[in-house]
Amino acid sequence: MQLDVAVSLIQKSKDHLISYRTTGFNDAQVSAKEICEEMNTEPALKEKRLRSTKRQFAYEAPDEPIANAMERLEVSFFNAVVDCGIQSLEDRFESLGQVRDNFGVLFNFSELDVQTLRDQCKVLEVRLTCGEESDIDGSALATEIESLPDLPQAKMTAFELLTYLSQNDICELFPNLWIALRIACTLPVTVASAERSFSKLKLIKTYMRSTMAQERLSGLALISVNPKVARDISYNDVINDFASRKARKQRF
């Protein structure tokens, strides 16, 4: 997954949730009524009597309870769930948006004027500097972007531009742009990794094999992890090798 594409998809998801918050509840009502008609069920929510409790005087008046069951469902449940999703998107991917802004000059350089282009190239140079060494030269990067040939598309992703430079064999003409694009395309979009649901160790070392030594456990684990290699092993050769090592000298 590319960094600029991922940020664009996240923004589209956020915009969809914001739009869904406005119209989604009415659409859900229509769908729920259709399902109720198919099930021969009355599409109505049970009204609950609101309890009134005495409160002490306070400068801030409490919110008035919502009597309408449908309105109460929209406010207390639907809006709360959608708002939680929107806020989670903002909190989870806030740092990803900041990283995308650091490399923004590589994604929207066609929309920038000369001075803004040079300023953002300098910012990118600072971001890619460790100690006294920098991966790119900001001034040279701005010059290379200005001297790019006519691109196939007005707006290209970082990976598409990287592919264009590689296919046309012009990487050496744009060394700083080539390095910056490679860094941008190899940045991880998320730090989440897949988790294995089943452990090979649990399948091998059961309660009946709890006293096996480390060498035997390692061997069984190797066979279990590489079953294709294990199928190609000749059992006769293994048995003969084992017998030759364990055979005792026969007395005459």
- Residue-wise pLDDT for 202-245, tens only, equals 777 776 777 778 888 888 888 888 888 888 888 888 888 888 88
DSSP 3-state assignment of 130?
strand
**What is the SS3 assignment for 150-203?**
CCCCCCCCHHHHHHHHHHCCCCCCCHHHHHHHHHHHHCCCCCCCCCCCCCHHHH
> How much is the pLDDT for 92?
80
Count CB neighbours of 158 within 10 A. Answer: 21
Q: What are phi and psi of 6, to 5 degrees?
A: -65, -45
Phi, psi of 150 (to 5 degrees): -65, 125
Confirm whether pTM is higher than 0.85. Answer: no
User: In which residue ranges of the chain is pLDDT below 50?
Assistant: none
pLDDT score for 195 = 53
pLDDT single digits (tens) 109-135: 888 888 988 888 998 888 888 888 888
Are 97 and 7 spatial neighbours (Cβ–Cβ below 8 Å)?
A: yes
Give the burial string for 107-130 (b: 16+ CB within 10 Å, else e): bebeebeeeebbebbbbbbeebee
User: What pLDDT does residue 16 have?
Assistant: 92
